[in-house]
Amino acid sequence: MVKRRNFLRGALAAPAVLTLQGFISKLDAQTYPSRPIRLIWPGATGGGPYTIVRLIAQKVEEKGATVVVEGRVGANGVVAAAAVKNASPDGYTILLGHNATHAANVTLIKDLPYNPVTDFEPITLLFVLHQALIVPSSLGVKTVQELRELARSKPGGLSYASSGIGAAAHLMAEMLAKAFGTKMTHVPYANSSAARPDLLTGRVDLMFNTLPLFQGDIEAGTMKALAIASPVRLKHAPGLPTLAEAGFPNIDIESWFGLFAPAKTDPAHLDILNGLFRPAAESIADSAANQGFVIRTSSRSEFADLVKRDIVRLGALIRDVGVQPK
């Protein structure tokens, strides 16, 4: 009889406990965020993506939340991603991840210290970028077709710069070499800015990169953009043809950037973050476009689907171009 009475007490108390837990969760969501949010970016301060995310963070701060953007350089984004994976899942440490940290690295790095799907909670996609095929004017080519003929005429092919092994610029240059039917020599740099002087002086022959970094050089006539790796022409560069228009379709890797939290972060916090960052990003669409970035936000589930698709898609592409994992 005593056992039955205790069981009934526990059964009656269980709904109350669940109700209390739900109340605490709602109360926590109402007070969140109550301290600064650390937004870790896998790169150095400065540069295009950092500039855009700082603009977005400023718009979030106008809504009353404090956001501290912190750069963490190293290992194709692994250092930053691992730091966020191991952070407390309280909603106060988030990552600006991209299609290298959360897709390409799965194939590129043998012992990746995190799982992009199970170790993170997607918050929202923020922006994407498309890269232009840029050459020094001293190379003497004005079209992609002329570049192909030059590449074929050189026994060792041409050389190309990138911001690192497995970066979109690296993979697209390998795709271009395959389309040209010739080999090219890869010269990786720490970042795009570091590659600029060698491209400018002709030490390397070409590079895929966003236009703003080289806009001054293009206007001065020392660099030339031959085409854009995009399905359609860019609004801020309508005179630049796409690679498809130039006769080389399917050479396009859309570089995306979005926010992630550590796994097991409270869904209520994730919803608040989504609600803060999506409108903030959308409000700077014009400024971002002038710098070569396209604002594109998403629901949490849409972003999760994008990550899963790109793990498969980029993995197949990396294997196809012959990049060996480290």
Interacting residues of 145 by C-beta distance below 8 A, sequence separation 6+: 246, 247
| pLDDT beyond 80 at 98 | yes
Residue 101 lies in a domain: yes
Q: For 163-207, give the secondary structure using H, E and C.
A: CCCCCHHHHHHHHHHHHHCCCEEEEECCCHHHHHHHHHHCCCCEE
Helices and strands (DSSP H and E) totals, the chain: 11, 11
Residue-wise pLDDT for 198-255, tens only, equals: 999 999 999 999 888 898 999 999 999 999 998 888 888 889 999 999 999 888 888 8
Using the CB atoms, write b or e for 122-132: b if 16+ within 10 Å.
Answer: bbbbbbbbbbb
Residue-wise pLDDT for 26-81, tens only, equals: 545 568 999 999 999 998 777 778 899 999 999 999 999 999 999 988 888 999 99
Res 26: pLDDT? 52
Residue 18 lies in a domain: no
For residues 221 and 181, state if they share a domain. Answer: yes
Tokens of 252: 């396009």
CATH of the domain at 303: 3.40.190.150
For residues 198 and 283, state if they share a domain. Answer: no
Please give the residue range of the domain that contains residue 194. Answer: 132-228
For residues 73 and 149, state if they share a domain. Answer: no
Domain boundary among 213, 228, 243: 228
| pLDDT beyond 70 at 118 | yes
Residue 164 lies in a domain: yes
Residue-wise pLDDT for 132-178, tens only, equals: 999 999 999 999 999 999 999 998 889 999 988 778 899 999 999 99
For residues 274 and 194, state if they share a domain. Answer: no
Alpha-carbon distances of 275 from 39, 121, 300, 321, rounded to whole Å: 16, 15, 11, 39
Domain boundary among 228, 263, 279: 228
For residues 83 and 120, state if they share a domain. Answer: yes
| pLDDT beyond 70 at 284 | yes
Highest mean pLDDT among 213-222, 287-296, 297-306: 297-306
Interacting residues of 220 by C-beta distance below 8 A, sequence separation 6+: none
For residues 78 and 124, state if they share a domain. Answer: yes
Q: What is the mean pLDDT of the chain?
A: 89
Residue 243 lies in a domain: no
Number of domains in the chain: 2
For residues 123 and 261, state if they share a domain. Answer: yes
Q: Letter for the amino acid at 319?
A: R
Residue 248 lies in a domain: no
For residues 123 and 196, state if they share a domain. Answer: no
For residues 271 and 123, state if they share a domain. Answer: yes
For residues 205 and 268, state if they share a domain. Answer: no
Range of lowest pLDDT (116-125, 148-157, 257-266): 148-157
For residues 116 and 160, state if they share a domain. Answer: no
Q: Letter for the amino acid at 234?
A: L
Residue 242 lies in a domain: no
Residue 295 lies in a domain: yes
Q: Do the beta carbons of residue 123 and residue 273 sit within 8 Å? A: yes
Res 30: pLDDT? 67
Does an H or E element contain 90, and which? none
CATH of the domain at 184: 3.40.190.10
Interacting residues of 284 by C-beta distance below 8 A, sequence separation 6+: 52, 55, 56, 59, 295
Res 28: pLDDT? 54
Residue 82 lies in a domain: yes
What's the pTM?
Answer: 0.82
Using the CB atoms, write b or e for 39-54: b if 16+ within 10 Å.
Answer: bbbbbeeebbbbbbbe
Tokens of 258: 């979005």
For residues 192 and 267, state if they share a domain. Answer: no
**pLDDT band at 321, cuts 50/70/90?**
confident
Res 6: pLDDT? 52
Sheet with 67-71, side-by-side order of all strands = 67-71, 37-41, 93-98, 255-262, 120-129, 293-295
| pLDDT beyond 90 at 298 | yes
**pLDDT band at 9, cuts 50/70/90?**
low
